[in-house]
Amino acid sequence: MEQNRIVWDGNMAASQAMRQAKIDVVAAYPITPSTPIVQNYSQFVADGDVDGEFVMVESEHSAMSACVGAASAGGRVATATSSQGYALMIEVLYQASGMRLPIVLNAVNRALAAPLNIHGDHSDMYLGRDAGWINMVANNPQEVYDLNLCAFKIAEDYSVRLPVAVNQDGFLVSHTTEALNYLPDDEAYKFIGDYKPHNPMLDPEKPVTYGAQTEGEWHYEHKMRHEHAMYNSFGVIEKVLAEYKELSGREYKFVETYQVDDAEEIIICMGSVAGTTQLAVDKLRAEGKKVGLVSVRLWRPFPKEELAKYLGKTKTITVLDRSAPLGSTGALYNEVAAVMVDNGYNAVLLNYVYGLGGRDMTIDHLTEIFNSAKECSDAGKRVKPLIQTINLRGKELSFY
């Protein structure tokens, strides 16, 4: 279909998708670098471009609490946050998912304090890993826009009814402008569809309870229903992404790959670094080196079976984690290691901590990582420390 071409940054892409979704309530508290999302949306409200409510609250905890109330009442609801705001929301994130409320959250990923840092890493995304939300990762503004439209449709499906977070790297995506395609308003809304409330609290003819207390007699069963909903969402997510491809021509998969078919060294990552890694792969391929890239799009539920398809033939796998492991290996590394064990794969595994607080990750850095992995491939075993750092000043600071 014919689409419009425009230049947006990741934040504008998110707020425009929210506008097209015709949201009933956006409750928000501003925090860098996600502030422009809700600022843009408030302007849409002020200009009469949307017919919903914009609620400014006193904190991010209150923002998600207001979202929970509005979603329980039967409205289409969304918000945005980052970093410390995400951390302040965390208690209510568990409430939202446990109540099976289809809220959409734009998480503009930023480092957690202390020390205070306004730039991007995945500390906040990792913090919410087990909060029961579906988590998708956008690598550029086009993907932010597209995945937001898909997020509403996924969350509101009756067989899912779970909140969805769309993650994007702070500043590297949120404040980076790129040309992208967007759908006409009517087509975007038609794709998402009218909101159909499920067990709305404000229906006096069908009284319901939200936030009930369950002790040992029933808590286990409730959590396992939540778990089943999360795993059963794979089919719905796949279906929605396929429908979006048919509409827009843009295809999204749980796991995106590049030059992996014959690769001997593979990097696995999430977020904007995937684009830089692709350039590094091109550079090394031109030199005759068999390297490849696997980018994880779906962080939760984690696509173990899909990922396993690409890991059985390679010699060395390097997993990039944009968050300090603080006493363990990185969160993404742990997921990949589990997939390797489950499938009996024996490639050498390495874990790099990179880009904390917005530290640069360049083609040269990624080339260095690939070359380090090649040493392990040649030796047929790990000849490097399991966990390594890249672009860190002062090697004495690395404990690995």
When divided into structural domains, the chain yields a total of 2
Query: Is the same domain home to 31 and 165?
Result: yes
Q: Which of 206, 223, 248 is the last residue of a domain?
A: 248
359 backbone dihedrals φ, ψ, rounded to 5°: -60, 140
| The domain boundary residue, chosen from 221, 248, 275 | 248
CA nearest to 162, candidates 174, 175, 152: 152
Query: Does one domain contain both 284 and 145?
Result: no
**136 shares a domain with 75:** yes
Q: Does the predicted model carry a pTM greater than 0.85?
A: yes
CATH number at residue 266: 3.40.50.920
Among the three residues 208, 231, 248, which one is the final residue of a domain in this structure? Answer: 248
- Kindly calculate the radius of gyration of the chain based on its CA atoms and give it in whole angstroms: 21
Tell me, yes or no, whether 150 and 264 share the same domain: no
In a structure prediction context, what are the per-residue pLDDT tens digits for the chain, which is 400 residues long? 779 999 999 999 999 999 999 999 999 999 999 999 999 999 999 999 999 999 999 999 999 999 999 999 999 999 999 999 999 999 999 999 999 999 999 999 999 999 999 999 999 999 999 999 999 999 999 999 999 999 999 999 999 999 999 999 999 999 999 999 999 999 999 999 999 999 999 999 999 999 899 999 999 999 999 999 999 999 999 999 999 999 999 999 999 999 999 999 999 999 999 999 999 999 999 999 999 999 999 999 999 999 999 999 999 999 999 999 999 999 999 999 999 999 999 999 999 999 999 999 999 999 999 999 999 999 999 998 999 999 999 876 776 6
Same domain, 143 and 261: no
> What region, left, alpha or beta, does residue 120 occupy, with left being phi > 0 and alpha being psi -120 to 50 degrees?
beta
Tell me, yes or no, whether 130 and 233 share the same domain. yes
- Fill in the amino acid letter for 305: E
362 and 231 part of one domain: no
